[in-house]
Amino acid sequence: MNIASVILAAGQGVRMRSRLPKVLHPLLGKPMVWYVLDTVRALGCEPTILVIGHGADQVRTTISNLPPPISNLQFVEQHEQRGTGHAVLQARAVLQGKAEVVLVCYADMPLVRAETLNALIQRHTSTSATITMLTLIADDSMSFGRIVRDAEQRVVGIVEERDATPDQRAIRELNCGIYCFAAEWLWEHLPQLQPNARNGEYYLTDLIAMAARESRRIETIVSYDANEMLGINTRVHLAQAEKVMRERINTAWMLAGVTLIDPATTYIEPDVQIGVDTIIEPNTHLRGKTRIGANCRLGPNTIIRDSQVGDECVILASDITESRLAERVRIGPFARLRAGSVIAREVYIGNFGEVKNSSVGEGTHIGHFSYVGDAELGARVNIGAGTITCNFDGKNKHRTTIEDDAFIGSDTMLVAPVRVGARARTGAGSVVNKDVPPDSLAVGVPARVIRRTMKDEGRMTNEQMTNDK
């Protein structure tokens, strides 16, 4: 059976008090509407119609650029926000005759699970119902409408909270606003909706009473999870939703073999992947498409964005962005890896070390308070504390190359473009503005190069070797 979906995303979200359309407010790094689109994608609903209105161009552009793309996603604009019934009606021209069932849900309910919607669809199709509703049993009404049933417990209507009598307000079964409709009946009856006398809007909920009057079959799926049905109307709701989403993600990773020392202060976004036996310390943030290997230890106070981290890495109180780390890398505390950093196996980067747009070879050590930018470091290089690659001349960036087994003394300034040859050394405090040949020592300001051979190494003066570690 072909099932289409209509997602309502046209509202302004006045209570958010924001210039940003409500459905684009971020939830764990993604617009809240992404979660609903992702859930519908998992159900295989095609086509999917997103009804947009307030900030339509911005919503369309943002959604179109979200990965992965939604198969057969189409946008329909509700130029005037005249209620939920009017919003769904905008999809009729696109969907009529293309699906037998229409799933209607809201873009500001990102916590609804695919399993719940799948159960709704299964109930609808197995019973040949005209309407199947998702309802919630809860003590807190959350301002939802109440489900009204007759003496035989058949659904006969929905009464909004503001219109409910005291007896109706006592009803604990609530309307979540998520429905499956028999498509042919829906498209025939939507134009029959009448405007609400108070505000002139057309309410989708009025279809329930219409179906009941026609003795149509109305089915329900009942939920007892109020968190899942949370609709986001304020920034308070947004924070509540983020807390629930984090708890879901963190629980899933702990069940998958990842240790979270304090889940309440661990922030893992939905696209992150983590290997088994990794330990995550408090106040660690894993964002974007980050991939973490097995047996790592991250944090506390670590932020990793859109990066790949190999197995058995230790990252303490550091910030890593768009970088790739191989196995057994040790970083921090208070280190920073900026975009384009590629770190080989068994590299160590000390406290307050910074690497940007550079490759660092296997076994290299970068001492504390050092900056390596736009550079290529070979294997087993030692970067002494306070070393800086001076890569920017005020107009252009230039590269520094340091070959295998070189030893860069503390406080060395490497004025790019410059190359330090294999096994070469620089003395502490040197300013190197010319290439240093392999197997030589450069010292001074500006640095002068002293050729080193096995024969004359023992005759080097103490002054030349001072602070060369």
What angle, rounded to 10 degrees, do the helices at 32-43 and 235-255 form? 50
What is the model's pLDDT at position 143? 84
Q: Which of 338, 376, 368 is nearest to 355 (CA)?
A: 338
Note whether 3-223 and 249-465 share their fold: no
For residue 185 the two structure tokens come to 């009946």
Strands 418-420 and 431-432: unpaired
d(CA 241, CA 227): 8
Q: Are 408 and 384 in contact (CB under 8 A)?
A: yes
The architecture that CATH gives domain 249-465 is 3 Solenoid (2.160)
Dihedrals phi, psi of 98, to nearest 5 degrees = -110, -5
Catalytic residues: 368
* Domain boundaries defined on the chain: 3-223, 249-465
Closest by CA position to 5, among listed 90, 99, 128, 84: 99
Task: Check residue 267 and give its pLDDT.
Answer: 98
Q: What is the pLDDT of residue 464?
A: 44
pLDDT of res. 199: 87
Coil, helix or strand for 289? coil
Q: What local confidence, expressed as pLDDT, does residue 455 receive?
A: 40
- The gap between the terminal CA atoms of the chain, to the nearest Å, is 74
Q: Which of 431, 430, 433, 426 is nearest to 403 (CA)?
A: 426
Contacts of 370 (CB under 8 A, 6+ apart): 350, 353, 354, 383, 384, 385, 386, 387, 388
Whether residue 427 contacts residue 411, with contact meaning beta carbons closer than 8 Å, is answered with: no
Residues 6+ apart with CB under 8 A from 381: 360, 361, 364, 365, 402, 403, 404, 405, 406, 407, 408
DSSP 238-273: HHHHHHHHHHHHHHHHHHTT-EES-GGGEEE-TT-E
**Nearest C-alpha neighbor of 318 from the set 305, 308, 298, 333:** 333
Compute CA distances 91 → 38, 75, 87, 110, 299, whole Å.
Answer: 20, 9, 8, 21, 48
Contact 288, 269 (CB under 8 A): yes
pLDDT of residue 396: 95
Cα 109 off chain centre by: 17
345 Cβ contact list (under 8 Å, min separation 6): 310, 326, 327, 328, 329, 362, 363
| 363, amino acid identity | G
Supply the CATH classification number for the domain 3-223: 3.90.550.10
Tell me the pLDDT of the chain (469 aa) as tens digits. Answer: 899 999 999 988 899 999 999 999 999 999 999 999 999 999 988 899 999 999 999 999 999 888 776 778 999 999 998 999 999 999 999 999 999 999 999 999 999 999 999 999 999 999 999 999 999 999 988 889 999 999 999 999 999 888 888 999 999 999 999 999 999 999 999 999 999 888 899 999 999 999 999 999 999 999 999 999 999 999 999 999 999 999 999 999 999 999 999 999 999 999 999 999 999 999 999 999 999 999 999 999 999 999 999 999 999 999 999 999 999 999 999 999 999 999 999 999 999 999 999 999 999 999 999 999 999 999 999 999 999 999 999 999 999 999 999 999 999 999 999 999 999 999 999 999 999 999 999 999 999 998 764 344 444 444 443 444 3
Give the sign of the dihedral formed by CA 156, CA 159, CA 163, CA 164.
positive
Quick one: pLDDT at residue 461?
45
- 166 SS3 class: helix
Rounded to 5°, the CA angle 331-332-337 comes to 65
Q: What is the pTM of this model?
A: 0.90
